[in-house]
Amino acid sequence: MNTIQNHMIITFGFLLMITFSLDSKGSTPETAKSIIQKMEDQMRGESSYFELTMTTVRPRYTREVTMKSWSLGDDYAMILITAPARDKGTAFLKRAKEIWNYVPSIDRMIKMPPSMMSQSWMGSDFSNDDLVRESSILKDYDHRILREEIFEEYECWVLELRPLPESSIVYDKVTIWVSKDFYLQLKVENYDEDGFLVSTLTFSDIKEMDGRIIPTVMEMVPADKPRQKTLLKYVNARFNIPIEEAFFSVQNLTNIE
Amino acid sequence: MRAVAFLTAVLLLSSSLMAQDYSGTSPSKVRHGQLSLNGYFKDMPSLSFYRGGEMEWSNILQNRLNFSYRNRQFRLAIELRNRMLSGDMVTDYGPFLEEMLKTDNGLVDASFVPFSNKNVMMHSNFDRFFIDWRSNNWQIRAGRQRINWGLNTVSNPNDLFNTYSFFDVDYEERPGADAIRVQYFTGDLSRIELAIAPQEKSKESVAAVMYAFNTSGYDLQFIAGYYRHKLAVGTGWAGHIKNSGFKGELTVFNGLEDQDSLVLVGAFSVDHLFGNGIYGMVEVLYNGGHKGFDPDLLMLMEPMSADNIFISKYAVTATAMYPISPLFSASLAGMYMPDISGYYIGPNLSYSLLTNLDVSLLAQYFSLNDADIPEMLAVYAQLKWSF
């Protein structure tokens, strides 16, 4: 059953990557919507390659998973676990709504149930909604500019997002801080229907990677457990890489390094 | 000796392939291959309890070494499993156990007992050694490898080459087969595979082809071949019903000489990850090749054959896994075998002590309604350091 556990841990990271590889198009001058649009565009290209680490921090321990990921558009993604030793070589392939997992020790490909895609991993500080939300951050919300303020030395717009009635988003309200210079997402606060803060996402360590200015560290802290968090750190990034659909194949899944 | 000769051949062949890879390229453009070594050390003490109060203990200290060299096209893998067995298992069944461990079911004898006395037995087994070559849509692998055609989690009627035992908690890598396997990838999600696993007694050989592809959210595969002097034809699928995974495998075997020996082995399963984090799976198995039940504790852990894959004719298996925290997970497997009125329960608790250090506690309870082994409870602890 350990394998299954590993699947979940890794799937979590995988879903996170999918989150970051979601696309959006079109632009108009600074309305709430166009700010969100540009923020999305900044964080990704049509295709991308990332090397990253995901760290789960708890009062008494931390655990780190290191990964490489490739993505193309909304539909194609591949992830390879490079550490820890126990999970090294484990890989994931996503094509549209299907996910396969490769387990090197038994040289086996496992087709994941669709429910794996829409749920997240128990131990993490991200909820399902955090992961799937971004796919519809433009379409499923009403956006409005609340105010402008300085946050962490950056001039920011503060936007309020309220889910549309037909969406299945669990949060009642989401507040986002977006920097004016590079349209960088700097902070996200998620609120429940009673107006209480559920979790806070902060983005930091803003750097140039492959010619783009992006926040390279993302930190999720649940409001009721301030001593625990999940950190996602980009070590290397490349955008608009020459990569084709054929890269996201069964042959590559079982041979990727 | 044959094993040594085979390994030498593999090494020679690989070094010549490596040489080819480097030839014709200027030093600055040489693509360096990657050498890697990984594996683990694991200790697994266990206690077994039988009806009537009899108790046995044993310990298995295990070391796994996976050597690999790879470059863009080529890969060489040699994986060694070393185990130091001790306890009542060795004291009580010494000669029988030694004989069993020495026996390598493959074409190449790569299983050794380098040392044994009445208390301790050392077992070494090269359970993977192959060379792999890849170019465009082709991939060819020769040597001892795992040819995994199974799609289900527990029972794999499509797994013609390397059947495994669900009850063998010590062997997470599962056995391999001495074979040549050619894969031709006809598309991103489709491929044709041909695999041949010859045996010294030709009638025990296996040779089969598989065509696998993906359509409408389903992975589908068709297999046909020669299985130990039987004709084998089968199909398998992995797809979904709504949000649950739905998988199945069916294989029909028919004796080449005894035309009336048609046997069907089939299993299908459904799995789901629930919103509360519980992962559940249910599988139903029909093992048409069942030939009566002769329980033997050591044999329970041994793989059977594709045309008689389990100790009963019918089996229903349910498993559940729950991650209590990022470090701690619990799982439970239950199995019911109606035709032999048997059942099995296997709980498992796993905890990650440090990044590469895992500890787990597991148990296996068998109620087999059999005169020799009516009931057995085995409790295992496991400490594993991966590197």
CB B111 within 8 A of CB B101: yes
Q: How far is A111 from chain B (nearest CA, A)?
A: 6
Closest CA to A22 of A75, A87, A82: A75
**Residue in A251, A253, A256 to test binding to B, most B beta-carbons within 10 Å:** A251
C-alpha distances (whole Å) from B307 to each of B76, B115, B180, B233 are 32, 35, 22, 11
How close does chain A come to B139, measured CA to CA in Å? 9
Q: What is the pLDDT of residue B315?
A: 97
Encode pLDDT of B221-236 as tens digits: 999 999 999 999 999 9
Query: Which residues of chain A have a CB within 8 Å of the CB of B44?
Result: none
Measured distance CA(B381)–CA(A91) in Å, rounded: 29
Q: A21: burial class by Cβ within 10 Å (0-12, 13-18, 19+)?
A: buried
If one counts every other C-beta atom within 10 angstroms of the C-beta of residue A45, the result is 19
Whether A19 shows a pLDDT value over 60: the answer reads no
Supply B351's token pair.
């905890």
pLDDT band at B368 (very low <50, low <70, confident <90, very high): confident
ipTM of the complex: 0.86
Please list every residue in chain A whose beta carbon sits closer than 8 Å to the beta carbon of residue B133.
Answer: none
Residues in chain A within 8 Å Cβ distance of B243: 113-115, 118
The Cβ of residue B297 has, within 10 Å, a number of other Cβ atoms equal to 17
Element (H, E) at A69: strand A61-72
Confidence at residue A136, expressed as pLDDT on a 0 to 100 scale:
57
| Structure confidence by residue, pLDDT tens digits, A35-49 | 888 887 777 678 889
CB under 8 Å, gap of 24 or more: what pairs does B21-25 form? B21/B71, B21/B73, B21/B74
Q: What confidence category does residue B198 fall into, taking pLDDT thresholds of 50, 70 and 90?
A: very high
Chain A residues close to B240, C-beta within 8 Å:
113-114
Report the distance separating Cα B288 and Cα B309, nearest Å: 9
CA dihedral of A185, A186, A191, A197, whole degrees rounded to 10: 170
B 71-130: CB under 8 A from A:
none
Q: Is the pLDDT of residue B112 over 50?
A: yes
What is the average pLDDT value for chain B, to the nearest integer? 88
Closest CA to B211 of B179, B231, B239, B234: B234
> Would you call A119 and B188 a contact, using CB atoms and an 8 Å cutoff?
no
Whether B190 and B214 have beta carbons less than 8 Å apart is answered as yes
Q: How far is B188 from chain A (nearest CA, A)?
A: 4
Residue B299 pLDDT level (bands cut at 50, 70, 90) = low
A85 and B38 in contact by Cβ < 8 A?
yes
A91-130 b/e (C-beta count within 10 Å ≥ 16 → b): bbbbbeebbbbbbbbbbbbbbbbbbbbbbbbbbbbbbbbb
Whether the pLDDT of residue A101 is over 80: the answer is yes
pLDDT (mean) for A116-121: 54
Instruction: Output the pLDDT for position B26.
Output: 34
Q: Within an 8 Å CB–CB cutoff, is residue B327 touching chain A?
A: yes
Is residue B328's pLDDT more than 70? yes
Q: A5 to chain B nearest CA, in Å?
A: 7
pLDDT class of A18 with cuts at 50, 70, 90:
very low
Q: What would the pLDDT profile of B7-24 be if each residue is shown by its tens digit?
A: 444 444 444 443 333 333
CB contact under 8 A, B242 and A246: no
Per-residue confidence (pLDDT) for residue B44, from 0 to 100: 97
Confidence check: pLDDT of B206 > 80: yes
- CA-nearest residue to B79 within chain A is A105
Distance from the Cα of B258 to chain A's closest Cα (Å) equals 34
Kindly tell me if the per-residue pLDDT of B268 is higher than 90.
yes
Q: What is the mean pLDDT of chain A?
A: 80
Asked whether the CA dihedral A215, A125, A71, A164 is positive or negative, the reply is: negative
Share of residues in chain B with pLDDT > 70 (%) = 89
Task: Give the model confidence (pLDDT) of A166-224 as tens digits.
Answer: 776 778 899 999 999 888 999 999 998 899 998 899 999 999 999 888 899 999 898 98
Sign of CA dihedral B233, A253, B177, B283: negative
Strands B263-273 and B375-386: unpaired
Q: How confident is the model at residue B84 (pLDDT cuts 50, 70, 90)?
A: very high
Does B219 sit within 8 Å of A115, measured CB to CB? no
Q: Which of B40, B112, B127, B123 has its CA nearest to residue B78?
A: B127
Please identify among residues 251-310 of chain B the ones whose CB lies closer than 8 Å to any CB of chain A: 271-277, 279
Residues of chain A contacting B, Cβ within 8 Å: 1-2, 4-5, 8-9, 56, 58, 61, 63-64, 84-86, 88, 95, 97-98, 105-116, 118-119, 121-124, 128, 245-246, 248-251, 255, 257
Residue B353 near chain A (CB below 8 Å): no
More reliable by pLDDT, B350 or B243? B350
What is residue B298's predicted lDDT score, i.e. its pLDDT? 61
Minimal C-alpha gap between B43 and chain A (Å): 16
pLDDT, average across residues A18-24: 40
Distance from CA of B263 to the nearest CA of A (A): 26
pLDDT at B371: 66
How far is the alpha carbon of A204 from chain B, nearest alpha carbon, in Å?
Answer: 24
List Cα–Cα distances, A200 to A40, A139, A197, B192, B264, in angstroms.
18, 22, 8, 49, 56
Cα separation of B385 and B387, whole Å? Answer: 7
- Regarding predicted confidence, which is higher, A111 or B3? A111
pLDDT of residue B48: 93
CA of B246: which chain A residue's CA is closest? A113
Element (H, E) at B342: strand B342-354
Q: How many CB pairs under 8 A join A and B?
A: 136
Residues facing residue B57 across a β-bridge? B47
The region, left, alpha or beta by phi > 0 then psi within -120 to 50, assigned to residue B299 is alpha
Closest residue, chain A, to B192 (C-alpha): A251
Name the residue among B147, B150, B350 with its Cβ closest to that of A5: B350
What does the pLDDT average to over B285-305?
80
Task: Give the domain extent around A225.
Answer: 2-253
Judge: A85–B356 Cβ closer than 8 Å, yes or no: yes
CATH number at residue A62: 2.50.20.10
The helix or strand, by DSSP H or E, that contains position B297, with its residue range, turns out to be: helix B297-300
pLDDT, position A22: 36
Shortest alpha-carbon distance between residue B92 and chain A (Å): 31
Judged by average pLDDT, the poorest of A159-173, A227-241, B107-121 is A159-173
Res. A15: pLDDT tops 60? no
Kindly determine whether residue B273 and residue A116, on different chains, have CB atoms separated by under 8 Å: yes
Confidence of residue B124 (pLDDT cuts 50, 70, 90): very high
**Which residue in chain A is spatially nearest to B139 when comparing CA positions?**
A251
Name the domain count of chain A: 1
pLDDT of residue B332: 97
- Chain B residue with the nearest C-alpha to that of A124: B326
Neighbours of B52 (CB within 10 A): 7
Of the partner residues A109, A124, A251, the one whose CB lies closest to the CB of residue B185: A251
Confidence of residue A146 (pLDDT cuts 50, 70, 90): very high
| Encoded amino acid at A220, one letter | M
Query: Tell me, what's the pLDDT at A20?
Result: 43
Helices (H), B144-247: none
Buried residues in A184-219 as b, exposed as e (16+ CB within 10 A): bbbbbbbbeeeeeebbbbbbeebeeeeebebbbbbb
Per cent of chain A over pLDDT 70 is 79
Per-residue confidence (pLDDT) for residue B377, from 0 to 100? 94
Tens digits of residue pLDDT in A82-96:
999 988 999 988 888
Interface test with A, best of B66, B172, B189, B270 (most A CBs within 10 A): B189
Mean pLDDT along residues B61-86: 95
